[in-house]
Amino acid sequence: MNDDPRSHPFRDSTQDVATADRIPDTAQTRAPAYRLAFTDTDFMTREELRPVRLQLELLKPQLILDERGIRSTVVLMGSARIRPDATEAEIAPLRHWYDVARDLARLITEKSLESYGRENVVITGGGPGIMEAGNRGAQEAGGHSIGLNIVLPHEQAPNPYVTPDLCFNFHYFAIRKMHFLMRARAICIFPGGFGTLDEMFESLTLIQTGRMKRIPFLLFGRAFWEKVISWQALAEAGTISPDDLTLFRYVETAEEAMAAIADGTAPC
């Protein structure tokens, strides 16, 4: 099949958009019913169009990443509040994880450049904190990185280190999560709050239930995670299997994480 638009016998949709912009201004052409359906924001945001919007949010990043030749990613997740200049007493002890995430992203990207940036590309949530550190380290290594932003009541702007043409914005959390994992070769979880925990447990559940293959799943900071979550208590209560505790491993440094990612095997 020839996908070259020049070979199609029909007018391109962009041509009709341009033509529609030049039509005479009349009562008929100003009416909402006259707008081309796919350029009509009022129509596209109707409740009945939710299935179409879900499909578009899945398809747009998929097409762009495919066109860029990106075949695999390494996911970096963690708190937006862990910033190098954070002064809050509670978060200050966690500030060093920003530097660890930055170093890790740099090391990952240096390795990724051996495949011309097609394999193991850093992907983050696109915001501040640990996400910024990931995109920053990738940029400092001379490579590109992906940011998956989402529209929030308190506006989350993309951090300035995301590669601009790989900076996406989402309405649906579910579709955003799919794009985090669809190409993932490793998942790196830094200390975080509700959002980090949500993404961590969903990813672990997919692996636990066999809906996703086992990949290196790294929790940064044993002291933090064992204080926040009593994994052993879950196993002792029988709500998870003792074998589920092998789905992840703890790491403390970027170098340790790189060794686990390079090994490419499931945690042990």
Same domain, 40 and 57: no
Among 171, 170, 227, 174, CA closest to 198: 174
Q: Are strands 184-189 and 73-77 parallel, antiparallel or unpaired?
A: parallel
Identify whether residues 27 and 94 lie together within a single domain.
Answer: no
4 within some domain: no
Long-range CB contact pairs, 92-95, < 8 A, 24+: 94/191, 94/221, 94/224
Domain assignment present for 217: yes
Q: Are residues 135 and 237 in the same domain?
A: yes
Q: Is residue 5 part of a domain?
A: no
Tell me the backbone φ, ψ of residue 3, rounded to 5 degrees: -95, 5
Residue 90, in any domain of the structure: yes
pLDDT in tens, the chain (268 residues): 455 656 667 778 888 778 777 888 999 888 999 888 898 999 999 999 999 999 999 999 999 999 999 999 999 999 999 998 888 888 889 999 999 999 999 999 999 999 999 999 999 999 999 999 999 999 999 999 999 999 988 767 899 999 999 999 999 999 999 999 999 999 999 999 999 999 999 999 999 999 999 999 999 999 999 999 999 999 999 999 999 999 999 999 999 999 999 887 544 3
Same domain flag for 22 and 60: no
Range of the domain at 65: 53-263
Angstrom distance (rounded) from CA 153 to CA 155: 6
Total domain count, the chain: 2
